[in-house]
């Protein structure tokens, strides 16, 4: 699950990570009040107005602006709230901005040189250890840095059973070239950031940039956080941060129905029980000359209700030209699934596109008979090869 920047910073702050003062606003008028509040709290005379969407690269799309007056705050907020923000991570359709974060400007002059770094914490799946990835080249695309100057990308692997050690945090601070007060602040920052990552069961914490101020404070100027949805039951407060307006409406509907659904760009809708079988089904669709339109796992207890919900979700995609239902009858009997398909079909009404139902496992033949004798525009199959051939015919 992704969360907004202002939410990520509230989590970081709880774990002792320094962040610039800032608040979220839904309207330009609220943004002005926030700016005045920040002026009283911090004395800042400049503010940064930042679009809150679940995507990076907001600055490139015009979603991050510096305001040098209260009037600027209102004007810029008015421009950003409601805009369709297009970034390298949103795709061509972009995302509509519904709120902004107004933040104090920390790029103030001082005795020390300001500096931007990159830092992220994530799992290295190859080693089974957590990893801090960091670079002196913050504030820009880390992919570009990795491609052009890979020697500027550092990694620190941490055994999750032991946790981050002091010497590791110091090594990170040393490799980033910090010294004196900034070195001590960076060590604290690294430890706190790692603890936030572990403490929230996150998949990734990305801070770009990590900023060293002119008075040698180290803080997270930006923050991108992705959380492990499977662990959200342990974090009710974080689960409440979910913003469904940032998610695909169909995926939200599927989640509410207890289905695992991911929309793709193909022409064959697929409904399967089990993630592994779903992946195999998508491969089969490709081999038959089609392209999967979705990943949809109805789980082991497929019944009329889940099948109907799956049908309705798949049929919302206008690109779908055929539907393949591929069920292995292990936990659930194939005849029960077949009855569920027939009942769901009748509840929905006339379905214009061909449907192929491949049943294998317990009572597969009985299930195929139910499908074939239903009188509906549904074709049964038992083997993968047979199902693939029927998908190919349906697309012809």
Q: Is 206 a catalytic site residue?
A: yes
Q: Label each residue of the chain as H, E or C.
A: CECCHHHHHHHHHHCCCCCCCEEEECCHHHHHHHHHHHHHHHCCCCEEEEECCCCCCCCCCCCEEEECCHHHHHHHHHHHCCCEECCCCCCCCCEECCCEEEEECCCCCCCCCCEEEEEEEEEECCCCEEEEEEECCCCCCHHHHHHHCHHHEEEEEECCCCCCCHHHHHHHHHHCCCCHHHHHHHHHHHHHHHHHHHHCCEEEEEEEEEEECCCCCEEECCCEEEECHHHHHHCHHHHCCCCHHHCCHHHHHHHHCCCEEEECCCCEEEEECCHHHHHHHHHHHHHCCCCECEEEECCCCCCHHHHHHHHHHHHCCCCCCEEEEEEEECCCCHHHHHHHHHHHHHHHCCCCCCEEEEEEECCHHHHHHHHHCCCCCEEEECCHHHHHHHHHHHHC
- Which residues, including other chains, have CB under 8 Å from residue 145's CB and lie 6 or more apart? 118, 135, 137, 152, 153
Q: Is 118 a catalytic site residue?
A: yes
Q: Which of 104, 206, 261, 308 is catalytic?
A: 206
Residue 218 annotated as binding site? no
Residue 321 annotated as binding site? no
From the number of C-beta atoms within 10 Å of its C-beta (0-12, 13-18, 19+), residue 352 rates as exposed
| Rounded Cα gap, residues 347 and 288, in angstroms | 30
- Sheet of 268-272, strands arranged across: 260-263, 294-297, 268-272, 322-329, 355-361, 378-381
Residue 116 annotated as binding site? yes
Residue 332 annotated as binding site? yes
Residue 50 annotated as binding site? yes
Q: Do residues 229 and 25 make contact, with C-beta atoms less than 8 angstroms apart?
A: no
Residue 208 annotated as binding site? yes
Q: Which of 118, 194, 197, 261 is catalytic?
A: 118
Phi/psi for 113 (5° steps) reads: -75, 135
Which residues participate in the annotated binding site for substrate? 273, 330-332
Which residues participate in the annotated binding site? 50, 57-59, 106, 116, 208, 222, 273, 330-332
Which residues are part of the catalytic machinery?
Answer: 118, 206
Which residues participate in the annotated binding site for ATP? 50, 57-59, 106, 116
């Amino acid at each position: 699950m992704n969360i907004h920047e202002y939410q990520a910073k509230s989590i970081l702050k709880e774990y002792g990570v320094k962040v610039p003062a800032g608040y979220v606003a839904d309207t330009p008028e609220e943004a002005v009040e926030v700016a005045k509040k920040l002026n009283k709290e911090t004395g800042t005379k400049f503010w940064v107005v930042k679009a809150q969407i679940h995507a990076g690269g907001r600055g490139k799309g015009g979603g991050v602006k510096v305001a040098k007056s209260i009037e600027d705050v209102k004007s810029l907020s008015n421009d950003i709230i409601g805009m369709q923000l297009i970034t390298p991570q949103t795709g061509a359709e972009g995302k509509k901005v519904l709120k902004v974060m107004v933040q104090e400007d920390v790029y103030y002059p001082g005795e020390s040189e300001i500096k931007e770094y990159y830092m992220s914490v994530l799992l290295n799946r190859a080693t089974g250890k957590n990893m801090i990835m960091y670079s002196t080249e913050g504030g820009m695309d880390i992919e570009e840095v990795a491609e052009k100057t890979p020697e500027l990308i550092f990694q620190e692997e941490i055994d999750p059973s032991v946790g981050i050690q002091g010497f590791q945090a110091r090594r990170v601070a040393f490799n980033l070239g910090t010294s004196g007060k900034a070195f001590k602040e960076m060590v604290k920052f690294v430890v706190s950031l790692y603890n936030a990552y572990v403490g929230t069961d996150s998949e990734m914490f990305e801070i770009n940039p990590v900023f060293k101020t002119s008075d040698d404070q180290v803080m997270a100027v930006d923050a991108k956080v992705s959380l492990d949805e499977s662990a959200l039951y342990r974090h009710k407060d974080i689960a409440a941060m979910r913003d469904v307006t940032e998610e695909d409406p169909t995926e939200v509907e599927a989640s509410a129905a207890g289905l695992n659904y991911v929309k793709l760009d193909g022409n064959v809708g697929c409904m399967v029980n089990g993630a592994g079988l779903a992946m195999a089904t998508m491969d089969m669709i490709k081999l038959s000359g089609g392209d999967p339109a979705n990943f949809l796992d109805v789980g082991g207890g497929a019944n009329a209700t889940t099948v109907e919900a799956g049908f309705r979700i798949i049929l919302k995609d206008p690109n779908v030209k055929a539907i393949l239902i591929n069920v292995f009858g292990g936990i659930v009997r194939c005849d029960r699934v077949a009855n569920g398909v027939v009942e769901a079909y009748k509840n929905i009404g006339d379905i214009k596109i061909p449907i192929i139902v491949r049943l294998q496992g317990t009572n597969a033949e009985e299930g195929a008979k139910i499908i074939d004798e239903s009188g509906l525009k549904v074709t049964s199959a038992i083997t993968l090869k047979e199902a693939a051939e029927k998908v190919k015919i349906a697309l012809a």
